[in-house]
């Protein structure tokens, strides 16, 4: 594994390798065992959209691994003034040991990877959010013990989260149902890939998708960059919410996950979120451990 651009690039064994290392790093942190896996290494962080969890967990993670992280806002970089990505990639490759990027178009992270000579990590694009899904898988395994036979139900927009969860869940042996309004389905190529799996379902029927689910997952109705579509989306997604009625058709011990930030009263009710706060904030914590594992895998000599 040279980069983390999307989950589809990783084999099932590579995903297990990251999750196992993440568990180990979590154990070491809880027991104050400090190992400088990335001593002297530097991570550049190009962040072109807002971020709370991703930015802080990468920065703290790099520090805890003995390295340094540089926060690079595109307001300050020459990229913001039109310097080509291919030039920026080649320059950064001379200074840095790795680069994480949060941006709009997936082609930008792909271009950084192809022109640069250092590992590139996708920290969210409009297409994918692989770091989040690695933390989600880690959390599911913590709570459920394994992935085998579990059903995940995603409620809402066929966005970056849905695209990455489909790949992560199916690769790890879970089945996957998504309930989304017509016209808001996940990426067509990902759906084509997923249709080879028996346990994959796309429907606009929320109760059908949620029936007997072990893991319920949702995300905002309007993602970053879609603020102008807010009103249209609010109308389209009305009712696509994890609430008490949805919980009633899922398995009794179903867990609820949310990548956060959450819009209470839209994709999830306050009651459900608070009842499942342990899982949701463990999930947020696991961003740190999963990303440390990714960085060690990609950046250690
Ligand atoms: N879930 C997630 O990526 O959060 P941030 O947008 O706060 O980084
Ligand atoms: N789909 C959301 C995820 C945020 C972590 C967005 O792209 O804004």
Catalytic residue among 3, 276, 287, 289: 287
Neighbours of 22 (CB within 10 A): 26
Instruction: Scan for tokens 């896996």, then name that residue.
Output: 37
Distance from Cα 259 to the centre of ligand 1, integer Å: 7
Q: What angle do CA 117, 160, 241 make, to 5 degrees?
A: 160
Mean pLDDT, rounded, of the chain: 97
The predicted pLDDT at position 261 comes to 98
Residue 219 falls in the annotated catalytic set: yes
Residues linked to residue 153 through DSSP beta bridges, in sequence order: 177, 216
pLDDT > 90? residue 75: no
Sign of CA dihedral 22, 24, 29, 34: negative
Ligand 1 site residues, Cβ closer than 6 angstroms: 51-54, 124, 132, 259-260
From the CA of 50, the nearest ligand is 1
Find the mean pLDDT for residues 179-203: 97
Residue 81 falls in the annotated catalytic set: no
Residue 153 falls in the annotated catalytic set: no
Domains of the chain with bracketed CATH: 7-129+286-299 (3.40.50.1370), 132-283 (3.40.50.1370)
From the CA of 219, the nearest ligand is 2
The predicted pLDDT at position 79 comes to 92
The predicted pLDDT at position 32 comes to 97
**Residue 131's pLDDT band (boundaries 50, 70, 90)?**
very high
**Residue 70's pLDDT band (boundaries 50, 70, 90)?**
very high
**Residue 267's pLDDT band (boundaries 50, 70, 90)?**
very high
The predicted pLDDT at position 88 comes to 97
The residues, ordered by sequence, that sit 6+ positions from 71 with a Cβ below 8 Å of its Cβ are 45, 47, 55, 59
The predicted pLDDT at position 196 comes to 96
38, 61 Cβ separation under 8 angstroms: no
% of the chain at pLDDT higher than 70: 100
Q: Is the pTM of this model over 0.95?
A: yes
pLDDT digits (tens, 9 = 90+) for 223-262: 999 999 999 999 999 999 999 999 999 999 999 999 999 9
φ, ψ dihedrals at 93, nearest 5° = -65, -20
pLDDT digits (tens, 9 = 90+) for 76-91: 999 989 999 999 999 9
pLDDT > 90? residue 301: no
Residue 271 falls in the annotated catalytic set: no
Find the mean pLDDT for residues 263-267: 98
Nearest CA to ligand 1 atom 1: 259
Distance from Cα 293 to the centre of ligand 2, integer Å: 22
């Amino acid at each position: 594994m040279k980069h983390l651009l999307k989950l589809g690039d990783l084999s099932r064994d590579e995903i297990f390798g990251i999750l196992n290392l993440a568990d180990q790093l979590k154990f070491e942190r809880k027991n104050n065992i400090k190992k400088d896996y990335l001593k002297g290494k530097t991570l550049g962080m190009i962040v072109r959209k807002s971020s709370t969890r991703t930015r802080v967990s990468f920065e703290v993670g790099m520090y805890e691994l003995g390295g340094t992280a540089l926060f690079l806002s595109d307001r300050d970089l020459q990229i913001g003034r039109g310097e080509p990505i291919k030039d920026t990639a080649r320059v950064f490759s001379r200074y840095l040991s790795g680069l994480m990027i949060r941006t709009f178009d997936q082609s930008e992270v792909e271009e950084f990877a192809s022109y640069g000579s250092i590992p590139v990590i996708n920290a969210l694009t409009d297409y994918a959010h692989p770091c989040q899904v690695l933390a989600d898988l880690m959390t599911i395994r913590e709570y459920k013990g394994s992935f085998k036979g579990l059903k995940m139900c995603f409620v809402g927009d066929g966005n970056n989260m849905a695209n990455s969860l489909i790949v992560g869940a199916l690769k790890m042996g879970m089945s996957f149902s998504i309930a989304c309004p017509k016209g808001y389905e996940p990426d067509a190529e990902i759906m084509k890939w997923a249709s080879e799996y028996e346990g994959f379902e796309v429907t606009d029927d929320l109760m059908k998708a949620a029936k007997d689910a072990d893991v319920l997952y949702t995300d905002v109705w309007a993602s970053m960059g879609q603020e102008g579509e807010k009103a249209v989306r609010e109308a389209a997604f009305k009712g696509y919410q994890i609430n008490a009625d949805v919980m009633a058709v899922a398995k009794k011990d179903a867990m609820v996950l949310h990548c956060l930030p959450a819009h209470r009263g839209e994709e999830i009710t306050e009651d459900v979120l608070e009842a499942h706060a342990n899982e949701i904030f463990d999930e947020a914590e696991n961003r740190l451990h999963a990303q440390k594992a990714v960085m060690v895998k990609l950046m250690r000599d």
